[in-house]
Structure 1
């Protein structure tokens, strides 16, 4: 049996000794270490001691939460349906209320095509290329005349 070959059912020495006694292993086939072990046996026989460990009941494994983009969409749909069933707002107002409710829960939504950060209203951004070229041309003509 394979289970009886484990060290917990006897040492390697005792198994080899018993195989030699039963003449399964012939005296000229005995291992090299057998005579050394017979001459200098250990003070204590090696024993197989199975460590009995109980799983720790108080310790809980912490699994990190993983959020995907689909989770935000799913949360929006659930919250949208919940608010729609309780109120009679228009779709755009209902969208805004859903976004506010999700913002309280820590989920930030933004509409497609809109920037997440508002641009500063600098007058340079409002200028167009033609206006800039016309202004530059007028400045060049004034400096050439003077």
Structure 2
């Protein structure tokens, strides 16, 4: 059946039934008797979606979490960063993930203003030793600010 387009001819059950009748399959699959005893209400047959104008629209809606807004704001402000993901370490947390966790932690403490919360999260991570560099900001500015003791660039 590899390479043939028989999946468009009938359901898996009808094709298996025909193969058993023809003697190609010697024994029934495990699911065959159960499917035969309790058939579905609607036969699962392949049907091509009709395209009217352009592409068919997906009926599945996008899933957005609260953290996604924080991540989008983080990446627009700081970019993807210089540090690569360590996929060999199962406990590795990216800078963005640490930012999101610190953001939600500060948010639970009662801060409501998003801009202020974003800045405070950057300051808290800087206090932990995580240096965040804004997009388009030269490295020398960050080093000078660190030397002067200012917490947020």
- TM-score of the pair, normalised by structure 2: 0.31
Structure in which a larger fraction of residues adopt helix: 1
Considering Cα pairs closer than 8 Å and 6+ residues apart, tell me whether 1 or 2 has the greater RCO.
2
TM-score calculated relative to the size of structure 1:
0.33
